[in-house]
Amino acid sequence: MKIVELSGGVGGARLARGLSALEEVELSVVVNVGDDERVHGLYVCPDLDTVVYTLAGVEGPEGWGRAGDTFFANEELARFGVDNSFRLGDRDLALNLFRTELLHRGEPLSEVTRRIVAAFGLTSSVLPASDDPLHTRVRIEDGRWLSFQEYFVTRRHRDRVVELDYEGAATAEPAPGVVEAIEEADLVVIGPSNPPLSIWPILAVEAIRKTLQAHPKVVAVSPLLGGRALKGPADQVMASLGLAPGNAGVVEAYDGLIDILVVDQGDATDAGRLTGVDVLVTDTRIPDGPSARRLAAEIAAP
């Protein structure tokens, strides 16, 4: 069975690991690149790395970075007056140095990612949504446009988001293999990621959106539970962008794209009022590997 998952960071990465653990599943994960940014001159891809590290089972305790990593380089940067609030671990730096060097030499991000996936011995494929520049920008209440990392990491997503822009998306092409993977997939899963911040940047690539629209079975996993995001600011961002509260807002966010919405059992009542999609009610919390495998198995069940 061929499955494609569209993924942001931590939640999507955990579900990907669950899907990859299923027997006879060939998984391709199409990952958000809107958060990618230069940090200390390095080309950092937070969501791609979270997916790779999680698939490899070496992810950090909070879901990002590497398990057991040290931060000696990052701490030392403070000596030079450098803002080191984006915390890059020492082992994580190696991957970022490797990627940055290959990108400088002209290799596309998808090819560099393929090498990284191979270096970790993964059997799933991990594809950036696009090899082209595509940057999520966030306008906050005072009117300023911030880069995603400035909004999310530096200012700790404390600002109300009034508008989003996916800079470059209009001309960005899907990375090689993305459209083909979706076309050939028996099932497309949209991970429990932040719809506007993590999935919309992927869907902002026209050819990806169109291929998804044409797909007969697209399942989205709601990132909300009792109307709140389990992690991150999804609920606040959705509300400030005018989406309905709760899972109705998730259906709106994926309007016309999804066939099934997976909602948490705590939201069974709310789920009964959803229209336009089929609903699968289950336990959507995936704090660990076994729970992610269970959820993955339910989603992949015929």
Binding site for a second copy (CB under 8 A): 40-42, 69-70, 72-77, 79-82, 90-91, 93-95, 97-98, 100-101, 104, 115-116, 119-120
Minimum gap (Å) between residue 245 Cβ and a second copy: 43
Comparing CB distances to a second copy, the nearer of 41 and 242 is 41
Spacing of C-alpha 71 from chain mean position: 24
**Cβ 170 to a second copy, closest distance in Å?**
28
**Phi, psi (deg, nearest 5) at residue 246:** 70, -160
Q: How far is the CB of 108 from a second copy (least distance, A)?
A: 17
Angle at 150 between CA 147 and CA 153, to 5 degrees: 135
Task: Choose between 74 and 284: whose C-beta lies nearer to a second copy.
Answer: 74
Give the shortest CB-52-to-a second copy separation in angstroms.
Answer: 12
The minimum distance between CB 233 and a second copy, in angstroms, equals 29
Residue 35 Cβ, how far from a second copy at the closest point, in Å?
20
Residue among 105 and 158 whose Cβ is closer to a second copy: 105
Strand order across the beta sheet in which 187-190 lies: 125-128, 26-31, 2-7, 187-190, 218-221, 260-264, 278-282
**How far apart are the C-alpha atoms of 90 and 210, rounded to whole Å?**
40
CB nearer a second copy, residue 112 or residue 299:
112
Question: Closer CB to a second copy, residue 1 or residue 103?
Answer: 103
Nearer to a second copy, 76 or 288 (CB): 76
